[in-house]
Structure 1
Amino acid sequence: MSKPFISIIVAVYNGSKTLQRCIDSVSGQTYLNKELIIIDGGSTDDTVGILKKNNDKITYWKSEPDNGIYNAWNKALKHITGNWIYFLGSDDYLWKNDVLSQIVPYLIKAESEETKLVYGQVARVTETNDVCCVDGEPWEHTWNGIVLDGICTFTHQGMFHHRSLFETYGIFDESYKIIGDYELLLRAFKNGGNALFVNGLIVAGMQTGGVTSNCTKLVQEIGKARKSHHLKVITIPWLISYAWSICHTPLTYIVGDKKTRYLLNSGKLFVTHISHWKDSTLKK
């Protein structure tokens, strides 16, 4: 089997502070069978200047007003040539220069087994590169969290999607502004299906404070997506997540963003443990 070709998609808007780091993390990869596609939403800072400066590192880029991250991703999907697709935030970065080389054997294995999703772990980092936590759980727990519990037990920065997933289930639903990737996973996996988890491989560093930092909106959109797929909305983990989203803003004001982030990650671990405990109880 030939080496996989990986299409890396980046959506950006006014990302001049971090975009160069993102681009460098892709261009510096030891694995060469890849392409970088960047869609800018009509930035008013120096983002376009950075794109022009890095033209030799970017396969395709476009700058024009859009309707959010999922609109940008859908635009990018029209230009991919790879059989595996990876989405990276403009303020995020590939963790090490050999990440793609490390993931490739698993992509080959997955393709031979007709598995449409391969994922590793993601380090959540602050603006000063302090690691808050590392996200990424085996598929059984990830699937339970997504489908049964209604919580985001995944980070898309760790996920490699086979292009057949989009051919089968369609593109992102642009009516969602925060959890369009979650809704796509519901479409693809709500009735079961397998994904390949690469334990111990950190794929990317994810800088905290992005679009998903709007916790209340995130939890509300999850509820909307689950309702549209005729799944139970009000679960114990979902309620805990909603309660936390309400407390997020006052906590940030009282203790600061960094400490709130650590509390947030501790809360996520707590909710995840509840989900794990519930799963093990049901199996007894």
Structure 2
Amino acid sequence: MKPTFSIIIPTFNCLHLLRRAVNSVYSLSCPSHLYELIVIDGGSCDGTIDYLISNSESISYWVSEPDSGLYEAWNKGLSVAVGDWILFLGSDDSLHHDALTQYCTFISNHPEYDYISAQVTLISPNGSQRIVGKPWVWKYFRHFMRTAHVASVHRRELFTRFGLFSMSYTACADYEFFLRIGPRLRAGFMPSVVASMATGGVSQSSLLPLLESRRMKIQLGVISPFRANIDFLYSATIWLLRRIRLNISL
């Protein structure tokens, strides 16, 4: 039976985290025939391959080979995915047990959407937690990535119509993908927490995503260069203040 969801997990040399992410998929409350699990490994040497081999019966597809990073891994996953809806899960993230059940109900009630986001618990290195994720609204989204992309779902046809993730960006090609679609995106919002996500990756620990966001806004022409610079300064200030509050060194 064709699965409703394709869950794509990219990973590289983080077996202890990958186990938790995969176990969260195994613990989903919906029937297993409603989803497929795809793991794209960047050529790990920490035992990941042995783990994937031992779980081959439960993992629909996996590959282990060098890649250029997250977005090439996502694109590889998209090339083999057969589900109607695509969900990207980081190897350091975990789905809540009822995540897909909630999405199934929401999609049944709102068949008009092509992208549906929800909320995520963001867990910082010091153990503090906060809920992130707001509805997709173009007039705000063209300035800032407001949705929680972790564990959101995309109709597979979106990637047929608008292409794959750009390899020109290393930190926020997901944001560029949605900016590329622009106001044509038919997006819905489910106001419930569906996953947990650890901070500390490039998207939270570096200014690179903010620099890339400024560049893509200007290149795509979604806002003026002046406003793109204002957005950058505002986001950089918030980033700096948050790191000071959490006592994280620069």
- TM normalised by structure 1 equals 0.79
CA displacement 1:180-212 (0-9 Å, x = unmatched): 100001112x2344311011x111101111231
Structure 2 residue corresponding to 1:139, chosen from 122, 136, 141: 136
Q: Which runs of 5+ in 2 are unaligned?
A: none
Matched, 1:105 2:105: yes
* Residue-pair matches, total: 245
Q: Deviations over 1:94-141 (max 9, x none)?
A: 02x12111110112334x32x21011101101357x45210121233x
1:8-27: CA deviations, max 9, x gaps?
Answer: 00100111121111001001
Deviations 1:235-280 (A, max 9, x none): 344321123446777x48x9247xx9xxxxxxxxxxxxxxxxxxxx
Q: Which moved more, 1:173-182 or 1:97-106?
A: 97-106
Whether the aligned pair in 2 keeps the contact of 1:11 and 1:73 (CA below 8 Å) is yes
Please tell me whether the aligned partners of residues 4 and 108 of structure 1 are also in contact (alpha carbons under 8 angstroms). Answer: no
Q: Say yes or no: does 1:11 pair with 2:18.
A: no
CA-CA distance at 1:62 after TM superposition: 0.3
The question of 1:38 aligning with 2:20 is answered: no
Show the counterpart of 1:117: 115
What is the CA–CA distance in structure 2 between the aligned matches of 1:36 and 1:3, rounded to whole Å? 13
- Are 2:201 and 1:210 aligned? yes
Structure 1 residue 52: Cα displacement? 2.0
Secondary structure in 1 aligned to 2:86? strand
**What amino acid is the match of 1:135?**
V
Q: State percent identity of aligned pairs.
A: 34
CA RMSD in angstroms comes to 2.4
* Residue 225 of structure 2 is aligned to residue 238 of structure 1: no
Which structure carries more helix by proportion? 1
Segments of 5+ residues of structure 1 without an aligned counterpart are 261-284
Counterparts of 2:136 and 2:3 in 1: how far apart (Å)?
22
Contact 1:219 1:245 in 2 (8 A): no
CA contact (8 A) 2:118 2:190 kept: yes
Give, in angstroms, the shift of residue 144 of structure 1: 3.1
| TM-score of the two chains, using structure 2 as the length reference | 0.89
Q: Which residue of 1 aligns with 2:76?
A: 75
